Structure 1
Amino acid sequence: MRNNWFYKLLLSYLPVFLIISSSILLMTYLSLIEMSKKSATRAHQALTQNVMLLIDQTLGGVNAFMQNEMLNNEHIKHFFDERFSEDRQYTDIQAAVALKKQLLNNSLIESIYLYRAPDLKILTPSTLTRIDFFADNKFIGLMLNSHSAYNWTLRTLPSQEAVPQNEVKVVSLTKKANLSNFSIMVVNVRIERLRELMESMTDTGMAFINLTDPDGNLIVSTETDAESGIPASKSGKILSSTHSDYTNWIISSGNRSGGIVELVSSLFYVWMAIALMSILAGLAWIIYISRRNYRPIETLMNRISGVRQMRNPDRMKDGIDEFELIETTIEDLLDESSMLQEQYKEASLFRKKHMFTSLMEGMHSDQNRNWEDELEQLGVSGPVSGSLVALVEIDQYDEFAGQYGSDQHLLKYVLSNVAKEVTVNHSFTVWTEWMDHSQMAILYVCSDHRGTELDVRACCETLRNWVANNLDFTITIGIGERTEGLRHVAESFRTAAANIGYKTSLGQNRIITTDQVMSRPKGELFKQLQCIRAVSQLFRAGDNGWETQFQEMYADLQGQLYTYDDLSNLMQVLIGHLQKDMAELPEDLNAVWHEGVHESLLTALESKKTLDDIHAAFHRILKDVFIRMNELRESKSNHQLVHHVKNYISENYHNPELSLTHLGEAFGMNTKSVSRSFREVFGVKFIEYITEVRMEKAEQLLLDTEETIQKIGQAVGYEQSLTFIRVFKKHTGETPGQYRKRAKTAHTGGANIEA
């Protein structure tokens, strides 16, 4: 045992030692490489500067040579001088001899020739020809047409022979010999000479030098064949670059590809990071292994010491025998075992509820064994053939909680037991759990094919009747659809939850199944929004017709299905419209609305859970405030007159001449008085009111007739169809055609749902 423990420790720490040592050696090696690389970069910087200086001086010498020849060489000057035209043949021969002499004396120059513009003659060291027959005539034409200063130009020199030879790459410099007739002198320097200069400055076995133009095109390199431009070997990474102000070229240099060393150097920071991480990992491993090897003893003693000191500090003394401490601790553990078993029973209830909740949420796939154990405890030992979920909800739960207080837990327990007892004569196994404060889920499990949905409905109906007859509250039960096995029981739960959500429309104290939900159409919000707007406008105007519109909306809601959230949102839209329209009334009428009416409507919406209750509460509140506002309106002297004006508008809205002036003449009043009285009574401007009346009539005609837009506009007082379309769009947010199309689409969709 001792040897085993020794080897265990040795094998734990020896690999860490090797890893850390190797990482430190790697970091040292990489640091040396990086220092060498920085030194090489500085050396290459000096190299590129020296090479560029040499090339600039060499090409600058050629430039100076050309300038000197054109200014001081008499033979070349005579070649361009028109005064020697009488003895031109002799002059040309002398100039050719001078060119040949200079070509022999300057090894850098590949070729040189003169161009005389007046007679289009080209003179080389060996020939005199016209430009038409000269092989390099395209370059001469390019230079003559150039508007920029002449610089050194990289190009391929064309062959002078009839049979093409290998192309020679050169850099050419052009000088103007005579500004008046565009005669020039051209010198071509072979790039091989530049390559020789570059190679003379460096060790080509270790480093390379590239010469490129500003566009990045390679002119010459110590790594390429000067004639073909084919790379001789793979270049390494560029370490330094220098730009020439004279030629505008760029010299770059670097070490030749170094294989694995270059790869290691290029990934310096990566390797350093890996080495550092290896060291850190090694340190972490040492700490981990040390703690792990010591952990069993430390854990045991710490736990024993902590428990003993917390429970009985007097028994924890310095120098106490460890084995004695362990012995007494084991005795205490045996005493606590029975108490833990009791606590386990309590915890199992919570675990059972958690598993039930997971089953309802569809998260049971990884716990099949646990489900089988739980179902076995419930009396289901064989395979499950089918399952179904029913969701029981206590009606008017706020009143229930306020009435029973702490006793509600006892009533919920009774309700859970009754749900199990009513299935005694059926082949179901029942599992009940309260999902929240007001809803209890019942899982009906069938171990054979005898249990049907009709049996579940019968059990639920028995449970509902028992609660209604024996308790002071009622329940509503939503029943899901039967599923095979337990894998899809969450779908049945979701269906039950969706069904019970429609008790706002279907009513309380009843059974709600999927068939009942599917047999009624879902709510059509478009028509309800129209009714809401009409109710709000009529209510603001003091028109008793608001009750008719409100009752029509209630009747439509009764014929359709709405969840509580949908109905709540719809009623909140109504409250919002009323709040906005009431704000436009005069201050005295607006004050009546602000006497808690808005808060009363919101409170009623929160406390009432069915359509009937919400409608009754809203109708009572709105009717009360409407009566008070009308009493205030009738107390004003001009109330009766303004109502006559309003009736007149309702009968003559189609008259395009209807205006304040027209009303003033019809009722013998000043137009300002009509406008002021109208706003004081109804809280809206005259033009806004007549526009609303016309738009309501137009919307009705668009929905109920197939008349054209132009005829409908004329029917509501707009002679110009464009004016009608503009006003309608401003009022509704869409054109008449769009409104009619959307309304028909919504109506068709509603018909399909109903069908």
Structure 2
Amino acid sequence: MESVAVTHLNYLQQISYSVDYMNENAINLLFHIFLDPKTIALMYQDNNDFDELQRESIRLKQLVEVNPFVHSIYVYNKKRERYLGSWGEMLTLDKPFFDTAITEMLNRQAPTLLPVAREIVNPYNRSVKEQVFTYIFYEFRSSDGGVDGAVILNVKSEYLSNMTDRLKQRSSQNQSEAIVLNTEGELIASSSGNEHKGDEKARRSILDAIGEADMGHLKLDLDGEDYLIIFSRSQPTNWYYVMLQPYSQVLSNLHQIKTITIQVAALVLIMGIAVAVFMSFRIHSPFKQLRNKIINVQGYQAVEHTSQDEIALLDGMISESYRNRRMTKKKEMLRHFVRTGVLSRHVENDDLLIQIDSTQPILIVLCRIDDFHQFSQRFSAKERELMRFALANVVQGHLAKHFSCESVEVSEEQIISIVQVSQDTWESDEREMTGLLAEAQAWCQTHLNFSFTCVVSDVVTDTGEVPALINHLQQLSQYRFVYGRGSLLTEKIAENHRSVDKILANEETELMDALTNGQLEEAKRILDEILKRQKQLKYESAIANVLQLAYSVYNRLSDLEDYGGGDGSHVDWSISLKELLNIETLDEIQVRLEEVFSRITWLVWERKERRSSALADSVISYIYQNYKDPSLCLESIADYLKYSKVYLSKIFRDIHGVSVSEFITDYRIARIMERIGDASNMDALLEEQGITNKKYFYTIFKRKMGVSLREYRNKLVVQPLLEDNNSTK
């Protein structure tokens, strides 16, 4: 049950994403029209300039033509009681408006920017009615009701109906139904043959059962029969996409009986089928041979259509093959233009629907997928091909809101967009293009989960410059190294960077000194200053300096690892160099080098600790061998080991927590306490242990042991002997 629900839920979410994308495009187009100064004049002007209205009507018609999802556009002016539409005809109260429902919606001040499903007549053939989704946007409400001016956008509904039909076809259950509802329970779209699409009670029951949930599945009784309801909700449109299947079919255990029935029927009919196949073979074999040849030559993936005969199937195959060949030829022509700058005149027509004119000014936008190494690991070859196709369509779709353009994949990681522009309006168009490309970058990051860098060329009038221009843009795209992934760059970017500026020798020396002394934070500070200056250089100078610095750092690390210590692992410079060259931004290189800094400083401190421990052990060994020498002291030990007495004292205290003098005294006390029971002369015992200042020693002994040396001897040696003698007597 869960697998059935998940399968359909995934497809419902795909429909939801497609509708959300259409909704976003429709709203963006609506804003684009509404904010145009010409549209504002149409909504609020108080005159009737026929020529101007005619031009604006043509403009609206052109917007409909370049946006295939749009059915029609109206601009409403309350002052003139006028509708100006994309069908090329102006309507006023003198001539009743064919779309009476939109007038009622405006009078009751319908909500803006929300799609409303409704039926309207075709403006070219009033006897034909069509289903659309209507978006309304207005700014001012009229004091006497309605609005002062508005833009109305009608979107075709065929795409949603087609998707619901495809959803039903995907289901293995013939009685499944697909519907789209709004929050009021009104039917937005449905699959063909939907028995519940007219049942308002059933639709309301479905919404009540769903409640506040955004997606999921549940069991529901509709007209006395249990149904499995699978649903997903779109937040922007507030629509519910619902799949209904009879529960009896989902849980059916009659598969084995059906199989046996089919086998029995097959046995009964096999002879008749054999005869029919034999008789029809000669009639249909020529068509079958032709179809197989098309499949072999064109690579056409035939889809079985049981309701079609051979002629209809061949027609579909040939039509699809023709469309694929046109698309392939269009891409070949665009790639030829990118390589040579030549676009044949016969191509620039409606046959291949190429939207650019090579005789007019153009510019090039290069889109380069970021972190392509990781991109290649995340996706298979087929998935990467789909991602590139999606990227080309997203970029072209966003740019097409304001410009005529074409996009084509030119390599594994690069997309080229050719954009038609006007030199007269380029100053304002440049800001528009920057915004559209930023939207495309954000959309890809959100929905496709990868980023890309854009480089925009200057406007050119000679297409012969295109190949050299693209090569220049590819070089400029390397400035992603400085500005980071997802950057939006222009040809002017290189003007802000100097050509040559090597890392100063004293800076590199300071950095190496900080690392050698184990000063991690100081090393990071110096590195940060060096890399900040690299961001002001041209790419070639910056990458050369960074590699030089990295080479010095890795050499220092290699020296420390060769010296010994650490976990025994070693850094391979050739592997590290390859990894550095694959890094695309300075910030990532800084992170990588700081990781190496941490390892270097750790090795430095470990080396210092090992050296200090060995030195302290040497001091102790010398004390053990020479403690009887009265001249034994910190100075004599330092002279013997060839170290500064200050340094030696600090190292010894850091490791053992006492000074060298205290350690000598403690060791002598321990030796005296071992032999005090055998000694008859205390002064001789002290001199034998290297003690010359007996009075000072007595003071130190009492302070450390809590009793004088004589009391200690009496308590631990003399008194036990007396007790033994008394007990013997």
Scaled by the length of structure 1, what TM-score is found?
A: 0.36
Larger % of helix: which? Answer: 1
Larger relative contact order (CA 8 Å, sep ≥ 6): 1
Scaled by the length of structure 2, what TM-score is found?
A: 0.37
